[in-house]
Structure 1
Amino acid sequence: MKTSETAKTPIPHLAEPCWDDVSRLPIEPGDEPLVPMSLAPEPVKVFPAYARLGIPGAVPECYVRESVYRRLLLVARALPPGTGLVVLDGWRPWRVQQYLFDTLYETIRTHHPEFDEETLLERTREFISVPSRDPSAPSPHLTGGAVDVTLCDADGLMLEMGSLFDEASPASHSDFLERSDDLDERQRRARDHRRLLYHAMHAQGFTNLPSEWWHYDYGDQLWAHYGGHVQAIYGPTELDTIENRWRRQ
Structure 2
Amino acid sequence: MASKPYQRIPIQDCGEPLVAIPLEQFAVVEPHPYAVLGAPYGERSPYYVRQGVLAALLQAQANLQQQYPGWRIQIFDAYRPIAVQQFMVDYTYGQLLQLWQHEHSGETDRQPPQEELLNQVYQFWAAPSHDLATPPPHSTGAAIDITLVDHQNQVVDMGSAIDEISPRSYPNYFSEQTSSEQTTADQSGADQPGAKTFHHHRTILSQAMDSAGFRQHPNEWWHFSLGDQLWAWLGLTQAAASQNAAVAHYGRAQ
Q: Above 0.5 in TM-score?
A: yes
- Paired AA for residue 94 in structure 2: E
| Larger mean Cα displacement after TM superposition, 175-184 or 189-198 | 175-184
* Residues 1:29 and 1:40: Cα distance change in structure 2 (over 3 Å): farther
Q: Please show how residues 1-249 of structure 1 align to structure 2 within 5 Å.
A: 19-38=3-22, 41=25, 44-47=26-29, 49-51=32-34, 53-58=36-41, 60-79=45-64, 80-112=68-100, 116-180=113-177, 181=179, 182=181, 184-228=192-236, 230-238=246-254
* Residues 1:165 and 1:107: Cα distance change in structure 2 (over 3 Å): same
Partners in 2 of 1:74 and 1:40 — Cα distance?
15
Unaligned segments of structure 1, at least 5 residues: 1-17, 239-249
Partners in 1 of 2:139 and 2:227 — Cα distance?
12
Unaligned segments of structure 2, at least 5 residues: 101-109, 183-191, 237-244
| CA displacement at 1:115 relative to structure 2 | 6.6
Q: Answer whether contact 2:120 2:165 (CA < 8 A) is retained.
A: no
SS at match of 2:144: strand
| CA displacement at 1:23 relative to structure 2 | 1.5
| CA displacement at 1:34 relative to structure 2 | 0.8
SS at match of 2:22: helix
Post-superposition Cα deviations, 1:119-176, rounded to whole Å, max 9, x if no partner, equal 3332111111111232110011000001001100123221101001111121111111
Q: Work out which of the two has the higher radius of gyration on C-alpha atoms and give 1 or 2.
A: 2
What is the percent sequence identity of the aligned residues?
A: 33
- Paired AA for residue 63 in structure 1: Y
* Residues 1:164 and 1:39: Cα distance change in structure 2 (over 3 Å): closer
What root-mean-square deviation, in Å, do the aligned CA atoms of Structure 1 and Structure 2 show? 2.2
| CA displacement at 1:51 relative to structure 2 | 4.9
| CA displacement at 1:72 relative to structure 2 | 0.7
| CA displacement at 1:186 relative to structure 2 | 3.4
